[in-house]
Structure 1
Amino acid sequence: MKKWIEKLEMVLTRFKDIEGLLSQPEVINDQERFQKLSMEYAELTDVVNEYERYKELRENISEAEEILEIAEDEEMIELANMQLEEAKPEVEKLEEKLPLMLIPKDPNDEKNVIVEIRGGAGGDEANLFGGDLYRMYSRYAEKMGWKVEVMSSNPSEMGGYKEITFMIEGNGAYSRLKYESGVHRVQRVPSTESSGRIHTSTSTVAVLPEAEELDIEINQHELKIDTYRSSGPGGQSVNTTDSAVRITHEPTGLVVSCQDEKSQHKNRDKAMRILRARLKEKMEAEQHAELAQERKSQIGTGDRSERIRTYNFPQGRVTDHRINLTMHQLDSILDGELDEVIDSLTTADQIEKLKQVQ
């Protein structure tokens, strides 16, 4: 028996167990348990229905093959052949689909994301490239019908950003952008380079699923909150009141600053949303570190220090190093045409995870 069929049998058993539990008075009266089981039941329904259909088709094929072995009547033979012609292609499709349905869903997939971009090695050129990446993700979000909101930014005097943090709100935002975390490298001739020499610079991207208050509980007594006057590039004052906010989470040492809004309240709210997302990421990273095997089955670890992609301007080429994907559409990719890259990463990730269930 194939490994994935064994797993589907276990899913079917669990589904029937839940079905029985949901009709028991003690479960119905325990609203928390009833709700939890109802959600699990709903999540398993699709895969169970498809598996039941698969088993039914396999039985139809067996019956048709038995008839062909013993039948002499032409009409019976013709009916059996028709049954095989109908059932076999559907079985093949389900044999591709069912293992994919067994891949555990990422609970964060439907969430909004907080994206942090920081200029890395390369000084001004790294900051300019950070601005290019911000534009790339903003354009992609626009094409997807998602909303972009800048949470915090530190513009560079030469253009671009030393760092920028922004939220992308939209269905499935995390599922599409989660593979973007890591070091993005750019190779190009800076506008300030008179000899035409190619420079290599980097920017770091972190993609964090938005954390709700229910996901991460923060003890207010563990926060140190400072307020100060916000300033623009080069120390230029942009505000005459103490509206900028810096929050330090003392147990972890995480620090978040926000100064883009004129209202201290709005800056504090944005800083808390970023802090929650970073704490959630830290907690999940620690859990993943314990599950070494799970990390091996991911396309990229999501580690900020992992070099994931190179954008080569002289050759108009983009290379994703995790899956050895090279594309010669640099301009369109930087203009937000990311679907081909994201689809390739998603497929590669599914193939790796399929190995765990097949």
Structure 2
Amino acid sequence: MAQEITHDLDALEARLGEVEGYLGLDATRATIATLEEESAEPGFWDDADGARATMERLARAKEDVQAFEEARALLGDARAARELGEELEDEESLAESEDLAARLEGALTELELSSWFTDELDLGDAIVTITPGQGGLEAQDWTEMLFKMYLKYADRRGWKVTVNDATPGEAIGLDRATFTVSGKNAYGMLKADQGVHRLVRISPTDAKKRRQTTFAGVEVLPVLPDDIEVQIDPSDLRIDVYHASGPGGQGVNTTDSAVRITHLPTGLVVTCQNERSQIQNKASAMKILASRLYEQEKAKREAELDELRGPKHEISFGNQIRNYVLYPFQLVKDTRTGIETGNVDSVLEDGDLDPFIIGFHRWATGQRSAERA
């Protein structure tokens, strides 16, 4: 029986051509040549910070070009395998062509993502904070479930996670979780999940096994690069230290290593307790505070709060961006895009969020294009 052909290689080739235009690869290649010349000049490393920034730009530019060339090679290999399979009626070659085409489709999606992220901050790291909303103690359990889901997602993407604060709830779950995600396009990707997340399930703590609806809020901030400075007056800060309540070893839990910083003019409060020393926790908390102040200032200057954070909503019914239903049926559905799956475990247990996150960015890009038209 002949191998069923499912991928249209002509359509994938058309997408590849569109991606080359989106990314402006001719200009990127010219940028690479310019940066390579700069890096070869005498005294280039005299300004170490500037040199590192240049080398990071060079690495990103080379990565985009390399990814495109690899995608083009996949297309050529897929065509060759399909032609061979059809000519010789060879099932193995046809199967190889399908495998290569599937890999090409995934590579094109990643390249398209890069073209959608136009803000420099989109390319960098993210600070994610999850807090419980309506639902009492069970909202704290939901907060921990989301925390674990994002850890799994980061692992799937090859991102590094640094937990800044994971405060245990009163009886179950977490009262708050803040963590930094480091990796390519981490902020650009994760900002799709900023908002209210709603869980519907049979209550695990209710003896009568009644259905419970709980909420948690996800905030996503960019980690500011070194060349963006936020001026913070030390006199505007109240800094409290206390015993850490989360994991971290005996040294953490028996010393006043946890730090809470309150920015008095704005009322912003940041905590960090997962490092072993008070100095490290303070440094991490200050980075998070700087990102939050930057976000506020940018929103004030540009009057475009939705670009970074989205409109602020109460963490309750009617404001959710995604529903996770475990009972009476199983479904995860994004309220903005309509994307859904009945495989709840793949999302919550395995962190398979790409269909939702990539789907949101594709939808949002289409919305922006329609508004400009």
Give the TM-score category using the shorter length: 0.5 to 0.7
**Residues 256 and 291 of structure 1: is their aligned pair in 2 closer, same or farther, counting only changes over 3 Å?**
closer
> Can you list the C-alpha shifts for 1:35-84, whole angstroms capped at 9, x where unaligned?
9xxx9xx99xx9xxxxxxxxxxxxxxxxxxxxxxxxxxxxxxxxxxxxxx
**Residues 272 and 122 of structure 1: is their aligned pair in 2 closer, same or farther, counting only changes over 3 Å?**
same
Q: Give the gaps of 5 or more residues in structure 1.
A: 1-7, 12-31, 47-99
**Residues 149 and 356 of structure 1: is their aligned pair in 2 closer, same or farther, counting only changes over 3 Å?**
same
> Can you list the C-alpha shifts for 1:130-175, whole angstroms capped at 9, x where unaligned?
1110111100100111111110121124332110100010011112
> Can you list the C-alpha shifts for 1:276-332, whole angstroms capped at 9, x where unaligned?
1211222233345x359xx5xx79936354421111001110111112223212110
- 1:232 match: secondary structure: coil
Contact 1:225 1:245 in 2 (8 A): no
Among 319, 335, 343, which residue is 2:358 paired with? Answer: 343
> Can you list the C-alpha shifts for 1:235-268, whole angstroms capped at 9, x where unaligned?
xx96343322222223322121222223110110
Deviates more, 1:153-162 or 1:116-125: 153-162
Among 264, 267, 274, which residue is 2:278 paired with? Answer: 264
CA RMSD of aligned residues (A): 3.6
State the match for 1:353 in structure 2.
Answer: 368
Contact 2:121 2:224 in 1 (8 A): no
Among 318, 325, 332, which residue is 2:332 paired with? Answer: 318
**Residues 357 and 103 of structure 1: is their aligned pair in 2 closer, same or farther, counting only changes over 3 Å?**
farther
CA distance in 1, matches of 2:313, 2:125: 19
State the match for 1:332 in structure 2.
Answer: 346
Matched, 1:301 2:316: no
State the match for 1:155 in structure 2.
Answer: 168
State the match for 2:143 in structure 1.
Answer: 130
Q: Aligned pairs, how many?
A: 266
Q: CA deviation at 1:231?
A: 4.3
CA distance in 2, matches of 1:331, 1:144: 18
- Code of the aligned partner of 1:347: R
**Residues 102 and 116 of structure 1: is their aligned pair in 2 closer, same or farther, counting only changes over 3 Å?**
closer
CA distance in 2, matches of 1:299, 1:222: 28
**Residues 148 and 291 of structure 1: is their aligned pair in 2 closer, same or farther, counting only changes over 3 Å?**
closer
**Residues 211 and 222 of structure 1: is their aligned pair in 2 closer, same or farther, counting only changes over 3 Å?**
farther
- 1:108 match: secondary structure: helix
State the match for 2:206 in structure 1.
Answer: 193
CA distance in 1, matches of 2:261, 2:153: 31
**Correspondences of 1:100-179 after superposition (within 5 Å):** 105-179=118-192
- 1:265 match: secondary structure: helix
* TM-score between the two structures when normalised by the length of structure 1: 0.65
State the match for 1:248 in structure 2.
Answer: 262
Deviates more, 1:237-246 or 1:276-285: 237-246
CA distance in 2, matches of 1:151, 1:221: 22
CA distance in 2, matches of 1:208, 1:218: 18
Contact 1:185 1:307 in 2 (8 A): yes
Contact 2:230 2:294 in 1 (8 A): no
CA distance in 2, matches of 1:195, 1:154: 29
Matched, 1:203 2:216: yes
**Residues 202 and 291 of structure 1: is their aligned pair in 2 closer, same or farther, counting only changes over 3 Å?**
closer
CA distance in 1, matches of 2:117, 2:124: 16
Between Structure 1 and Structure 2, whose CA radius of gyration is higher?
Answer: 1
**Residues 300 and 216 of structure 1: is their aligned pair in 2 closer, same or farther, counting only changes over 3 Å?**
closer
CA distance in 2, matches of 1:238, 1:342: 36
- 2:321 match: secondary structure: strand
CA distance in 1, matches of 2:333, 2:205: 25
> Can you list the C-alpha shifts for 1:158-210, whole angstroms capped at 9, x where unaligned?
33211010001001111211111111010011111222211101011001111
- 1:214 match: secondary structure: coil
Contact 1:140 1:338 in 2 (8 A): yes
Matched, 1:282 2:279: no
CA distance in 1, matches of 2:184, 2:259: 30
CA distance in 1, matches of 2:300, 2:221: 15
The percent of aligned pairs where both chains have the same amino acid is: 34
- Code of the aligned partner of 1:241: T
Contact 2:238 2:264 in 1 (8 A): no
